[in-house]
Structure 1
Amino acid sequence: MNNCPKPIQRQAGIMLLEALIAILVFSLGILSLVALQAISIKLTGDAKHRTDATLLANRLIGQMWVSGGNLASLKTDFETGGGAYNAWLADVSGTEGLPGVVAASSGVTSTLPTVTVDDTAGATAGQVVITLFWRTPEMPPAEPGHRHIVVSQVVRNP
């Protein structure tokens, strides 16, 4: 005579099904953590590049303040193509600078930084606008990439 009640026989294998569902939920949780870690690493890299761009722009503004020149000499030396600009550009595009800083070429958008100095009289005299660009390796070459703009006023008291 069979002593097993019928309801227990109908539940045969339910423990295996519960174990498989628990493994599925656990696996999804682990995959979510791995994806979160990858996003965290990418955002950390982006924050580093933004910080580097800010420091490079502040370095150029500091050089402008200690140059001792008037607005016309600031425009000549520090605006895009000037002597001090070219020395600063070596820092921006060097190994310690921003990634993907290149001049325009066939199919590639320029990511060279731009510097403008307003030497006209008035409220905006001495206003300096520094725009830095960078492109991470996964970005397509035709895309301009990331941009950081710093606006400052470099004016000496008379």
Structure 2
Amino acid sequence: MKSLPLRAPGSRGFVLLDALIAILIFSFGILGLMAVQANATLLSSDAKYRTDAALQADRLITQMWISDPKTLVAQFAGDVGATTAPQYAAWLKQLDCSTADQTSNCLPGVTANPPTVAVTAAGVVTITVRWKAQNAASGDAAHQYVSITQIDRT
């Protein structure tokens, strides 16, 4: 009795080639998942900084609400290069990660991008908080959060 060959003569190594292609496809999938994870981490840190900026702006607005409304400008107004009011200077110290307690929702890059607090005669307060993420490139623009509120000055 004559036995038939188990494989065709040109099919040697087919399983090895199939396994290598499967490993290649799997590797591209893993690389894609790693890219998605890295992007999610970046977006998560950006959201944290934006939340911290909002909390800090709200903290300053709360201090303004409980202070004497006639001294808002003298106590809280502050800008880049301007003479800073005492409450603004204390708030700025809380924002700066190099001087603040690390649990106080400080923001990176605040020293190079100081926030501004403008108070109009009508009591409109505009707070602009700026920060620059630690992993940002040197040419990247600073992020900012702007809060506008009306405080009765009477």
> TM-score w.r.t. structure 2 length?
0.83
Q: How does 1:133-148 map to 2 (within 5 A)?
A: 133-141=130-138, 143-148=140-145
Q: Tell me the CA shift for residue 3 of structure 1.
A: 3.3
| Matched residue type, 1:3 | L
Decide whether the 8 Å contact of 1:133 with 1:144 is kept in 2: no
Q: 2:138 & 2:34 partners in 1: Cα distance?
A: 29
- Aligned with 2:116 (options 114, 117, 134): 114
- Aligned with 1:101 (options 91, 106, 110): 110
1:11 aligned residue = 11
Question: Runs (4+) of structure 1 moved beyond 3 Å?
Answer: 140-144
Secondary structure in 2 aligned to 1:8? coil
Q: Tell me the CA shift for residue 115 of structure 1.
A: 0.4
- Aligned with 2:90 (options 87, 93, 114): 87
Q: Tell me the CA shift for residue 138 of structure 1.
A: 2.5
Q: 1:131 & 1:31 partners in 2: Cα distance?
A: 39
Q: 1:140 & 1:18 partners in 2: Cα distance?
A: 43
| Matched residue type, 1:112 | P
Q: Tell me the CA shift for residue 19 of structure 1.
A: 0.7
Q: Does 1:74 align with 2:72?
A: yes
Specify every segment of 5 or more residues in structure 1 that has no aligned partner in the other structure, as ranges: 103-109, 120-124
Two-structure CA RMSD over aligned residues (Å): 1.9
Q: Deviation per CA, 1:40-88, whole angstroms, max 9, x where unpaired?
A: 1111111110000000000000000000322xx1111110011111111
Q: How does 1:43-82 map to 2 (within 5 A)?
A: 43-70=43-70, 73-80=71-78, 81-82=84-85
| Matched residue type, 2:108 | P
| Matched residue type, 1:83 | P
User: What is the count of residue pairs matched by the alignment?
Assistant: 142
